[in-house]
Amino acid sequence: MQKKMQNVIDVEKVESNRLKIIISGDVLRQNIDTPFAVLQESLTSDIKKVDFIAENLEAWDSSLVLFIYDTRRLCQEKNVALNMQHLPQNLQDLIGLAFAVDRNPSRGSEKFSTIEEIGKKTLELKQKTADVLNFIGNVLSGIGRCLRFNSIMRKIDFFAALEDCGPKAIGIVCLISFLIGLILAFVGAVQLQTFGAQIYVASLVTIGMCRIMGAIMVGVIMSGRTGSSYAATIGTMQVNEELDALQTMGLSRIDFLVLPRLFALMIAMPILTMISDFLGMMGGAFVGVFLMDIPYQEYWNYAFKAFRLNNFLVGLFHSFCFAIIISLCGCYSGLKCEKNADGVGKATTKSVVCAIVWMIVVTGIITVICQELGI
């Protein structure tokens, strides 16, 4: 019994439980839909083995690879033995490489009880904590080498990172900060107008922006803009095996990649925060002067009276801490990126989420400390 599938692909039932697929001639730009459909019909429940015969195979392209791949996958689903020994060795290698990676990791995964799952997550958390602490230790060692002028950090990398996270970020920081100051003034005015104290909108916006809101907004912007960029850039280097090349050449990835980005963000963030404070005050002034009919000189008089150096320095300290968090989260996520395109996307997302979460945690800690110290 023989079914004709294509000029170059034939399937033949040689025994009651065995199929033979004969491939001959040139398989170039072949439409494999029809041959594969006929193969599915022939692969009944009584078939136990399928043999590939390619003694007269000449030229072939990816269409043949796709046909063999689909055939092997179909045989695995139906628990049918597949013999590919008669195929050319290079073709066997391609098919083996295609099946080397499990494309459905969830299939056949082991089920754990609740207690076992908790234990598994605890061990994973322990390993993750150790990796993070090791990374932080390596960064501190790199900073020490830099202070001793024994680092391989290049100045050109530092200035490139500084340009990216500094001047190029001013536009978006100015826009968002102005709008935040405007919104903060609107929110305060709703309650202050009830008591006829709308003039204190200037004090509210000034204190809020200088102490915390300016630093918070710059931190969120830079985590989404610069932190994700760090993770994507280093993650792409991981995919392209450039990080392995650096290690092979004996170059420290911390000195070469992390330190320039860390130092650049530590310098740029406080400056951007000062710009954010001023633009936030300008946004509040827009609401107070043009929408609440507060005299221009009176508004700025109350704003300058509310300005305190300790509030300003607390905001700068927040921004300095945020710069460290954003750079470390971005670089760590990039260095731990999986070597595929999906891994780069996950690393980028993880860097932004971790940076924002840790910024909130650090903000709470600093706020409690300042409250206890009376700052």
**pLDDT beyond 60 at 353:** yes
For residue 373, CA distances in Å to 318, 359, 368 come to 16, 21, 9
Q: What is the pLDDT of residue 110?
A: 58
**pLDDT beyond 60 at 108:** no
Shared domain check, 219 and 361? yes
Shared domain check, 200 and 82? no
Shared domain check, 157 and 82? no
Query: Which CATH number does the domain housing residue 46 bear?
Result: 3.30.750.24
Q: What is the pLDDT of residue 14?
A: 66
Distance CA 213, CA 324 (A): 18
Number of compact structural domains in the chain? 2
Shared domain check, 323 and 225? yes
Q: Which of 69, 98, 127 is the last residue of a domain?
A: 98
Q: What is the pLDDT of residue 271?
A: 93
- Average pLDDT for residues 272-291, to the nearest whole number? 88
Shared domain check, 204 and 344? yes
**Which tens digits make up the pLDDT trace of 292-333?**
878 888 888 888 888 888 888 998 999 999 999 999 999 999
Q: Which of 75, 98, 121 is the last residue of a domain?
A: 98
- Average pLDDT for residues 180-197, to the nearest whole number? 81
**Which tens digits make up the pLDDT trace of 28-51?**
776 667 677 777 777 777 777 888
Q: What is the pLDDT of residue 362?
A: 92
Q: What is the pLDDT of residue 30?
A: 67
* Phi-psi domain of 149 (left: phi exceeds 0; alpha: psi -120 through 50; beta: other): left
Q: Is residue 20 part of a domain?
A: yes
Range from 35-49, 53-67, 99-113 carrying the lowest mean pLDDT: 99-113
Q: What is the pLDDT of residue 103?
A: 52
Shared domain check, 366 and 289? yes
Q: Is residue 292 part of a domain?
A: yes
- Average pLDDT for residues 225-242, to the nearest whole number? 88
* Domain assignment of residue 59, given as a range: 2-98
Shared domain check, 194 and 320? yes
Q: What is the pLDDT of residue 107?
A: 46
Shared domain check, 324 and 196? yes
Q: Is residue 334 part of a domain?
A: yes
Q: What is the pLDDT of residue 101?
A: 57
Percent of the chain whose predicted confidence (pLDDT) is above 90: 20
Phi, psi dihedrals of residue 11, rounded to the nearest 5°: -115, 135
Residue 356 vs residue 252, higher pLDDT: 356
Confirm if 225 and 320 have CB atoms less than 8 A apart. Answer: no
Q: What is the pLDDT of residue 326?
A: 93
Shared domain check, 288 and 186? yes
Q: Which of 98, 113, 144 is the last residue of a domain?
A: 98
Residue 199 vs residue 273, higher pLDDT: 273
- Average pLDDT for residues 44-70, to the nearest whole number? 78
Distance CA 56, CA 65 (A): 16
Confirm if 225 and 265 have CB atoms less than 8 A apart. Answer: no
203 contacts: CB under 8 Å, gap ≥ 6: 302, 303, 305, 306
- Average pLDDT along the chain: 83
Q: Is residue 111 part of a domain?
A: no
Range from 76-90, 232-246, 297-311 carrying the lowest mean pLDDT: 76-90
Confirm if 50 and 71 have CB atoms less than 8 A apart. Answer: yes
Q: What is the pLDDT of residue 265?
A: 93
Q: Is residue 119 part of a domain?
A: no
Shared domain check, 226 and 367? yes
**pLDDT beyond 90 at 111:** no
- Average pLDDT for residues 358-372, to the nearest whole number? 90
Distance CA 96, CA 10 (A): 23
Shared domain check, 81 and 158? no
Q: Is residue 177 part of a domain?
A: yes
Shared domain check, 222 and 336? yes
Q: Name the pTM for this structure.
A: 0.68
Residue 262 vs residue 59, higher pLDDT: 262
Instruction: Write a three-state SS string for 162-213.
Output: HHHHCHHHHHHHHHHHHHHHHHHHHHHHHHHHHHCCHHHHHHHHHHHHHHHH
Q: What is the pLDDT of residue 240?
A: 85
Range from 31-45, 167-181, 262-276, 350-364 carrying the lowest mean pLDDT: 31-45
- Average pLDDT for residues 320-347, to the nearest whole number? 89
Q: Is residue 73 part of a domain?
A: yes
End-to-end CA distance of the chain: 92
Q: Is residue 140 part of a domain?
A: no
